[in-house]
Homo-oligomer: A and B are copies of this chain.
Amino acid sequence: MSPRNDALPERAQRPIGIGMVGYAFMGRAHSHAWHTVSRAFGDVPLKPRLAAICGRDPAATAEAAGRLGWAAVETDWRALIERDDVQLVDISAPGDLHAPIAIAALGAGKHVLCEKPLANTLDEAEAMAKAASDAYARTGARAMVGFNYRRVPAVALARKYVAEGRIGTLRHLRAVYLQDWLADPKAPMTWRMSAERAGSGALGDLGSHIVDLARYLTGEEIVVTSAALETFTRERPYPGGSGTGTVTVDDSALFAGRLSESGALASFEATRCATGHKNDLTIEINGSAGSLVFNLERLNELALLDLTDGGACGFRRVLVTEPEHPYISAWWPPGHVLGWEHTFIHQARDLLTAIADGTQPEPSFSDGLEAQRVLAAVQEHGAGTGATIRSA
């Protein structure tokens, strides 16, 4: 391997107490980030203390606390918020809990990290953004929404290139987020297929990520002009074999629009039924002077097309693992690749740094609200499209 001498500037790290709601998939990923961030980034001024984890099931929550390394257990999120040893509330619970918890926590002067999408409805999102704004003015509390893919080094590098004008005026953006775990009609019914709990299906879960990335990468808003939603499988068996439940969210969402400043044509597709694609978020931007392509399954790479390369022009596979690339100086030598979970560590680092420095972390709840506006527009445009054309 190649040696590195990254003498990280050391600052004293003050503790900050974290209280987390939720202990499933996202809870595990967040726990790992809180444990790791201070060791990876010596320059983070705050050192997380994993104070308490909260879930409704006492036994399961206690088990999770032990496994994931949390000091205490709560079964009521209101109690969690009130704890003196919690300064930051991390909301990794289903979407219907985002608004009440976040608003309460902000009201109590606590910082908030809320998983994406911000909310299940536009109304909730607006209330949350207002709560964040009010809290910031009143108590200085910070609020951030967890669009973690902004923190992939290759994505942050792409953002830098677009902002510097390296690919020129934007013309096209195409983004897909393809998974396939619902391609099988026998895949079981969970809260993620319930509109009441999850708000929407692929649209909110996957579509929100590509909407946020499009906004982040281009610095523009998305004007939705058309959308179609589809639910290929409308009844699914409950886990354990006790009958079936009705799927009330979309399996797939296909939508298109424009970028607000450049007028670039933008297309989006989010689906849980693209056989063979496990976690394939691919976003491409074509500008007048170049192009960029990112793929989450190969997240250490960024494809760059630079027209000034002339006759030797071609997409470059940039391995985004150099010390000068975003976030990389904290990690390993060139070519020693990072994984998906690192995005949460980077997110924790940026949030903690913003809190310590008194700056507004991004993506803010306002960013979350803008993404929610796009999702709402898709649902409006796509209303009814799931049944009108399908023959079967």
Which A residues are within 8 Å of any B CB, using their own CB?
Answer: 1-5, 8, 10, 24-25, 29, 31-32, 35-36, 39-40, 42, 63, 67-69, 161, 167-168, 171-172, 174, 176, 178-181, 183-185, 190, 192, 205, 223, 225-226, 228, 230, 232, 239, 252, 254, 256, 258, 260-263, 265, 267, 269, 271-280, 286-291, 296-302, 304-307, 309, 311-319, 321-322, 324-325, 331-342, 385, 389-392
Q: Are A275 and B286 in contact (CB under 8 A)?
A: yes
Return chain B residues, CB-CB under 8 Å to A286.
Answer: 178, 180, 183, 271, 273-277
Report which residue of A185, A230, A301, A341 has the largest number of chain B beta carbons within 10 angstroms of its beta carbon. Answer: A341
Q: Are A25 and B1 in contact (CB under 8 A)?
A: yes
- Nearest-CB residue, chain B, relative to A340: B336
- Which residue of B63, B176, B225 contacts A385 across the interface (Cβ within 8 Å)? B225
Nearest CB of B to A291, in Å: 4
- Which residue of B63, B258, B306, B339 contacts A10 across the interface (Cβ within 8 Å)? B63
Q: Given A183-B171, A300-B297, A332-B25, are A263 and B391 also a contact pair (CB < 8 Å)?
A: yes
Return chain B residues, CB-CB under 8 Å to A29.
Answer: 332
Return chain B residues, CB-CB under 8 Å to A176.
Answer: 174
Copies of this protein in the complex: 4
Nearest CB of B to A34, in Å: 11
Q: Given A3-B190, A172-B273, A336-B279, are A67 and B263 also a contact pair (CB < 8 Å)?
A: no
Q: Are A183 and B319 in contact (CB under 8 A)?
A: no
Q: Are B288 and A183 in contact (CB under 8 A)?
A: yes
